[in-house]
Amino acid sequence: MSNIISGKVLSKEIREEVKVQVEGLKEKFNKVPHLVVILVGDDPASLSYVTAKERACLRAGMKSTLIRKDDSITEEALLALIHELNEDPDVHGILVQLPVPKHIDDNKVINAIKKEKDVDGFHPLNVAAVHLGQEGILPATPKGIMTMLKSTNTEIKGKQALVIGRSNIVGKPAAMLLLKEHATVTIAHSRTTNMKELALKADIIVAAVGRANMVTADMVKEGAIIIDVGVNRVDGKLVGDVDFDAVKEKASFITPVPGGVGPMTIASLLQNTVECFLMIEDK
């Protein structure tokens, strides 16, 4: 029987901390962090994510603007909008919700955002900083994962960590952050042939593949810590990448879906927005 790491509870604590911090910033700088979120198109899942981000910003006392663009917007026009926001002294964070329509090169979008306003931590200079162990903006989901791991008070140093998934948004940066904490890190992915063997050796598993119930109880070592990043819809119900009910009987700690990593991503985004504000205002 495992302990459940509640992203809901932990993220609420962080959001409260950020709120207090924002009150202090308002006193000191006479302004609050302003996040601008750009949503291209009307994908319902993306819309619900950006609405949640906007609401969290406002609740933390920050300013938030959602700019919605039709999915016919040209790449040139989107890049011009980003450049405009880069130069706007009233804007501290810029987030373009991904994916963008196919006719727009997402790398060009990511590269266009000024590093100091890159609340997602997706700009190559921020990615490089994470890889080099230097100061930089950490991507929100891996940052939230590390906060959850640290909340267990378990030592990460020397542990075997398996990250399943190699996306630029989650898998790769999560692996780098675990490495920074001195874990022995393995990255598995869709072409890995010995997944069960690797999983059974792992003290920490981060599942970020996007396949419902992919991590089953027979793959998990007794006492392992399981972080489930998956968001899959099965028969209208949200489920993660981990077979939660069975795996929780073996894990020492496990994150639920929903109410796990998801809320932590938003809390980390708020922290990143404050960091960007300070980089710009506190020179």
Q: Interface with ligand GUN by CB under 6 A: which residues? A: 95-98, 120, 140-141, 169
CB-CB contact of 46 with 97 (8 Å): yes
Strands (E), 22-118: 34-40, 63-69, 93-96
- Residue 23's H or E segment, with its range, is helix 7-29
Per the residue annotation, which of 63, 117, 118, 120 is the catalytic one? 120
CB-based contact 218:208 (threshold 8 Å): no
CB 219 within 8 A of CB 162: no
Identify the active-site residue in 21, 53, 172, 203. Answer: 53
What is the number of other CB atoms lying within 10 angstroms of the CB of residue 254? 24
Active site residue 120: yes
Nearest approach in angstroms of CB 39 to ligand GUN is 10
Nearest approach, Cβ of residue 190 and ligand GUN (Å): 19
In the complex, the smallest distance separating the C-beta of residue 88 from ligand GUN, rounded to whole angstroms, is 19
Instruction: State the minimum distance, in angstroms, from the CB of residue 181 to ligand GUN.
Output: 21
In the annotation, is 21 catalytic?
Answer: no
- Residue 41 CA: distances (Å) to CA of 87, 101, 111, 121: 24, 8, 20, 23
CB of 182 to ligand GUN, least distance (A): 26
Of all residues in the shown chain, the one whose CB is closest to ligand GUN is 98
Give whichever of 122 and 277 is closer to ligand GUN, judged by the CB atom.
122
In the complex with ligand GUN, which residue's Cβ is closer, 141 or 271?
A: 141
Residues near 219 by beta carbon (within 8 Å), at least 6 away in sequence = 195, 196, 199, 200
State the first-to-last Cα distance of the chain, in angstroms, to the nearest integer.
49
Shorter beta-carbon distance to ligand GUN: residue 97 or 273: 97
Which residue, 139 or 256, has its beta carbon nearer to ligand GUN?
Answer: 139
Of the two residues 98 and 129, which places its CB atom closer to ligand GUN in the complex?
A: 98
- What is the number of other CB atoms lying within 10 angstroms of the CB of residue 40? 23
Residue 114 bears catalytic tag: no
Cα separation, 202 vs 92, in Å, equals 39
Which residue numbers are catalytic?
Answer: 53, 97, 120
